[in-house]
Structure 1
Amino acid sequence: MSYLFLKQLHVACVVLSAAGFLLRGVWMLSESTLLQRRAARVVPHIVDTILLASAIAMVVSSAQWPWTSNWLTAKLTGLLVYIGCGTMALKRARTRRQRAAFLLAALVALAYIVSVALTRSALGALVWLT
């Protein structure tokens, strides 16, 4: 597979994953029963698996490892924050207020990850201020 194809697949999965997360967050806050549907529980795992696989394939094919590229290390760190906050938002936080706060934090982490990817700088969007 070409790097360009992998990148396009990765970006498409990022968009699908982010949109799905936001939708599930809205459903969670509105206490919708749609969140309990099988597709809402299965599809995100499929999309995120493809997303992760394409990321690993791009890292291997380009030989840009997170521990040697600051921006990839920042992206990986942002991903861990996003996953942690997302888990709290959709499953683990006890109150709706806590879930909403974690949802917002996860979306901020996601925005950071995207900005790091676009700028290829650990500063993300802040790189334009320097």
Structure 2
Amino acid sequence: MTEHYVLIKHLHITAAALSLLFFVLRAWWSVRESPTLQRRWVKVAPHVIDTTLLVLGVVLMVMLSFWPHQHPWLAAKLIALLAYISLGTVAIKRGRTPVVRAIAALAAVATFAYMLGTAIRHSPLSWLA
């Protein structure tokens, strides 16, 4: 399976980019209160993309034997993922006003940037390492 590492890593990166781009688009629609957000494909696509992203991440973790209790940067990334998901639900669904949804969306994108920094720098300090 390690012979497929580069492919799996690139697919994971692609899924992450698609996830972020589609999140930003949906957040924009949410803030603007666009009816497009209610279309079936808009509701289904993020689940497909994010499930793919998560599965590929787990495959990489297992393939490389990287465990969160052994690699603090991975633990930090997973904790940040929970924050990103929570902020994302506020930005897309649960925020009561467009302003609340916009603030949550910006915080979610900042959290995503933190996760990207932890993955690249292999440090919980993210971009500051």
Instruction: Indicate the percent of aligned positions where both proteins have the same amino acid.
Output: 43
1:7-26 mapped onto 2 (5 Å cutoff): 7-26=9-28
- State the distance in 1 between where 2:78 and 2:125 align: 13
1:1-130 mapped onto 2 (5 Å cutoff): 1=1, 2-127=4-129
Give the unaligned 5+ runs of structure 2: none
**Runs of 4+ more than 4 Å apart:** none
For 1:78, the aligned partner's letter is: A
What do the CA deviations read for 1:45-96 (whole angstroms, capped 9, x no partner)? 0011110100010011100011110110111011011001001111112111
Report the CA distance between 1:30 and its aligned residue: 1.2
Give the unaligned 5+ runs of structure 1: none
Higher relative contact order (CA 8 A, sep 6+): 2
For 1:86, the aligned partner's letter is: G
- State the distance in 2 between where 1:69 and 1:75 align: 10
Report the CA distance between 1:6 and its aligned residue: 1.1
TM-score calculated relative to the size of structure 1: 0.94
For these two proteins, the number of residue pairs brought into alignment is 127
Calculate the aligned-residue CA RMSD, in Å: 0.9
- State the distance in 1 between where 2:92 and 2:33 align: 11
